[in-house]
A and B are shown apart, each in its own frame.
Chain A
């Protein structure tokens, strides 16, 4: 599959119509035990595209993002990332579960920021950000440090290098987590309700940072969010999901101004 990608002509970086999808969900279903929480998702993201995923809680948004980060395995269907199957490999004409080595290679293209930051509490801020570049990308100490400082500057925390996470505010923690994910230079990044665990007065600083990253353009972003104004401002496309299905999708202007489905109309009423 990877060869077909290279044979095609090069595509515009930021989501031209001809661009091959960076992410593609093909009829993806997910069950936990007997409970099917996603009932066949088809979704494409173009390179550099920013999509916002909105919907009531429990509708499967987190699960959708976690499957892309390889934290949950789809029950059926396939996910492609950058033209290659994520969870599967071809063996003798059949699809089999991907090896750990394959997943490891695919993960270099994917990053994630979590609702609860998940910073490493035993490492200072700088080590939180240099650990993966050093151990995974094999960068030298100096290279990793340089890259990490650059990212921490981008999120406005270059003065917190030698501080343990416990000494930071929630907003600062989440900005470190963003720097930690960015420093790996993924092609697509999942942001799973990254402001939901924050005190209201700290939400703004984190959203600002994300907006700036979005403006840089080259990285595709899946923004799972309850912040409707933010979604409207940043997203190229908004996906409304409910009960494990994509109910409606479109550009933010259309989706927010003229919601078609009753579900979305009532959801937006409740959000305002």
Chain B
């Protein structure tokens, strides 16, 4: 590939990459937070809390992510609630992926053997201590592989933000395609590789966490 071409593309691709990472990271944090919160709430002994969490999961798991994104960015302002493009993106992605993550959290908690709850209760730990000190640390190890998948899905889905004018990696590649239509092979190969590198980073972090958290246990 022509090095001067690379020099011309690099600034735009870099800016796009930064935006993609920003959206993915922020959305990931929101999604994980919602996933853990509502995943635990799904197992609450209070019907109302369980119900609210259930409705959240059903609702946001079942809607089109792109339409949700449009709705947050274009429809909410009509109700007087305005978001910057990046906030709208983080909210939409967070809500949608949080709903999927919620199921992962819930099923990982349920997969911790019943005897762990019982031993914790026999030692007179409070319900919150049982959850946060005994059950959740064990559930997290089970969660990591599916959460890793989910975060990679999220990363790839961030390319939708180009529809609400956010200049992410996909958006920038479209701009460049307009100017360099003779080099689309090189261009999109590079973009594919960049996404691949980003998702590899996610997997790397997940693996490291998994190794650290399961140290000595198996």
Contact = CB atoms under 8 A, between A and B. Distances in A.
Interface of A: 69-71, 100, 104, 107-108, 110-112, 114, 116, 118-122, 124, 131-132, 135-136, 164, 166-167, 177, 180-181, 184
B125 A114 contact: no
A122 B126 contact: no
Given A131-B133, A135-B129, A166-B217, A112 B122 contact: yes
Interface residues of B, number: 23
Nearest to A166: B217
B67 to A, nearest CB: 41
A185 B141 CA distance: 32
Contacts, number: 67
B153 to A, nearest CB: 28
A231 to B, nearest CB: 23
Nearest to A109: B124
Contacts of A167: 216
B137 A135 contact: no
Contacts of B119: 114, 118-120, 177
B115 interface: yes
Contacts of B123: 131-132, 136, 180-181, 184
A120 B118 CA distance: 11
Contacts of A135: 125, 129, 133
A71 B217 contact: no
A173 to B, nearest CB: 12
Nearest to B118: A71
B138 interface: yes
A107 B116 contact: no
B55 interface: no
Contacts of B118: 69, 71, 114, 118
A120 B141 CA distance: 14
Nearest to A71: B118
A227 B115 CA distance: 23
Nearest to B134: A120
B115 A132 contact: no
Contact of A164 (B122, B124, B133, B217): B217
Contacts of B185: none
10 tightest CB-CB pairs across the interface, nearest first? A118-B119, A132-B123, A118-B115, A164-B216, A107-B124, A112-B122, A136-B124, A122-B137, A121-B217, A69-B122
Nearest to B45: A100
B218 interface: yes
A180 B121 CA distance: 13
B138 to A, nearest CB: 6
Contacts of B218: 166
